[in-house]
Structure 1
Amino acid sequence: MRSWLYVPDVREVGAGRADGAAEAADALVVDLERAGDPAGVRSWIEAASGRRAGAGRPAVWARLAGGEAGHRAVRDVVSPALSGICVAAESANELAALGTVVAEAEEAVGLRVGSVAVIARLASAAAVLQAAEIARAPRVARLQLAEGPLIRQLRVEPGRDERELLWARSMVVLAGAAAGLRPPLAAACPAGTDCEPSATALRRLGFGGRTCLDGEQVRVANRVFANA
């Protein structure tokens, strides 16, 4: 699971404009905060999962908003075609509350409770400091560091070597490893930049893949994280 391609608008893939990148990616992450009608997204998830099954690809994941908005979306998108959900969390208690909602949705569609995995997105200083507890919460399969919001909160200005983020990145790797999780996901690099140097540094640090914004980023992630 090297490359996780964000799909902010399912109509882009449905119309063929992003199909090449989607086929090359190891996972698709539908952004429900931007994608619009959850019912339409659920239909797309089921169709996309069916198309990719023949290629041995995992099912699509959904990125949810936090809080009640995310809880409502869970009821609309959980289905046998959904592999898991990505959600920002600042505590294990938040994930426990979400897990109750997911369990109800699983039962409603005939899934075994616990089938839908969670990627916990750490998007704040509080979340990073709670990384060890969050990593041990039920359903959490891996962690993801959401660097954009964290950078804004900390008011840091990353240089070319991004050493200003080293401590937070290391904390996430350490917390995931201590909990026995798969290596964490790294944030996408800015669009239009050379992503290979940062991807290589992240792999050396212990990350197992990264989110991607386009086909070129998918190709870089697939190559760099091939043996992560």
Structure 2
Amino acid sequence: MTATTYLYVPGDTPARFGKALRSGTDAVVLDLEDAVVAARKDEARELVARWVAACDPAGVELWVRVNPGELGERDIRAVAAPELTGIWLPKVESALEVEEAGRVLADCGAGHARISALVETAAGLLALPEIARAAGIRFLQLGEVDLAADLGIEIDDSAEQLLFARSQVVTVSAAAGIEPPVAAVSVNFTDPTTFEAETRRLRRLGFAGRACIHPRQLAPVRDVFTPTPAEVGHAEDILHRLAAAPSGVGVDARGHLIDEAVARSARRTVARAPRPGPGSGP
């Protein structure tokens, strides 16, 4: 099953690295950018590089959010390791930035590592179609706080001011044939009801996971992005009925028309279903 929870950890807090790995998240994101003050960038880079090189992730994805520009190249060269899943590249405004990061990874023997581009400016938003098609991209993200500041917009509780940008990143991801985008963080970890409702809106918009800044956010994100047994059963029934239909259309158990477009959504639901773990079963 594709990762849905991505837990940020500041790169200068090594005591929290292992805790994050054991938190139940699908992916750990060691942050060398915003979470680390300038005076500690070098120290954080060394701490993260050492930990990633020695880590046994046991199935958890390991990502590192690097810094932009020249500092980011030093970050990439330091953290490139066999266990690294990939890097989160901030402030991306062109496909060339992604491709250059990919060349650095390959030069360091980490050609397997993927890239997630964070788009955080108006220029990056306009370049989304090209960025989405850059070599090495696995999925896109929006840096919504920075983007709002660059656009000069004020975000209220509905976040409707971000609808255009959110729809854009979903659309270009689908057009480029890459994974759906991962939703941006929320600083709200004390009100799980509001956080879950917000995350559910993002899922309906087409996002396929969410970055988290606190372990309390993991459960609601997983609940939102993991289909229920009833949803999986309905999706499987749709696929069965369409396969058995004498033509290219059929009718589901609710009496609704089903065709290949409906089947595509059903396949996505089945693909997101949790897989039985070792030893599970009756």
TM class by smaller structure: 0.7 to 0.9
Match of 1:41 in 2: 48
Question: Highest Rg: 1 or 2?
Answer: 2
Q: Report the 3-state secondary structure (helix = DSSP H, G, I; strand = E; otherwise coil) of the residue aligned with 1:72.
A: helix
- 2:14–2:47 contact (8 Å) kept in structure 1: no
User: TM-score with structure 1 length normalisation?
Assistant: 0.88
- 2:9–2:20 contact (8 Å) kept in structure 1: no
- Residues 157-204 of structure 1: per-residue CA shift (max 9 Å, x gap): 222221110000000000111111111011111233431111000000
Match of 1:23 in 2: 23
- Residues 52-77 of structure 1: per-residue CA shift (max 9 Å, x gap): 31xx323x100011111101111110
Q: Report the 3-state secondary structure (helix = DSSP H, G, I; strand = E; otherwise coil) of the residue aligned with 2:204.
A: helix
Q: Report the 3-state secondary structure (helix = DSSP H, G, I; strand = E; otherwise coil) of the residue aligned with 2:154.
A: coil
Q: 1:100 aligns with which of 103, 110, 135?
A: 103
Q: Deviation at 1:213?
A: 0.7
Specify which structure has the bigger relative contact order, considering alpha-carbon pairs within 8 angstroms and separated by 6 or more residues.
1
Tell me how far apart the structure 2 counterparts of residues 20 and 91 of structure 1 sit (CA, whole Å): 32
Q: 1:71 to 1:20 in 2, by over 3 A?
A: closer
- Alignment partner of 1:161 is 2:158: yes
- Alignment partner of 1:220 is 2:223: no
Percent identity (aligned): 37
Match of 2:174 in 1: 177
- Residues 6-32 of structure 1: per-residue CA shift (max 9 Å, x gap): 001442415x7xx26852111000011
Equivalent residue letter for 1:28: V
Match of 1:118 in 2: 115
Match of 2:202 in 1: 202
User: TM-score with structure 2 length normalisation?
Assistant: 0.71
Tell me how far apart the structure 2 counterparts of residues 25 and 85 of structure 1 sit (CA, whole Å): 17
Tell me how far apart the structure 1 counterparts of residues 106 and 172 of structure 2 sit (CA, whole Å): 25
Tell me how far apart the structure 2 counterparts of residues 85 and 91 of structure 1 sit (CA, whole Å): 16
Tell me how far apart the structure 2 counterparts of residues 20 and 38 of structure 1 sit (CA, whole Å): 18
Equivalent residue letter for 1:164: Q
- 1:5–1:27 contact (8 Å) kept in structure 2: yes
Tell me how far apart the structure 1 counterparts of residues 21 and 76 of structure 2 sit (CA, whole Å): 26
Q: Report the 3-state secondary structure (helix = DSSP H, G, I; strand = E; otherwise coil) of the residue aligned with 1:24.
A: coil
The gaps in structure 1 that reach 5 residues or longer are: none
Match of 2:9 in 1: 7
Give me the CA root mean square deviation: 1.8
Q: Deviation at 1:47?
A: 4.0
Q: Report the 3-state secondary structure (helix = DSSP H, G, I; strand = E; otherwise coil) of the residue aligned with 2:172.
A: helix
Tell me how far apart the structure 2 counterparts of residues 122 and 10 of structure 1 sit (CA, whole Å): 26
Aligned length: 214
- 2:148–2:154 contact (8 Å) kept in structure 1: yes
Tell me how far apart the structure 2 counterparts of residues 61 and 180 of structure 1 sit (CA, whole Å): 21
Q: Deviation at 1:97?
A: 1.9
Tell me how far apart the structure 1 counterparts of residues 77 and 161 of structure 2 sit (CA, whole Å): 39
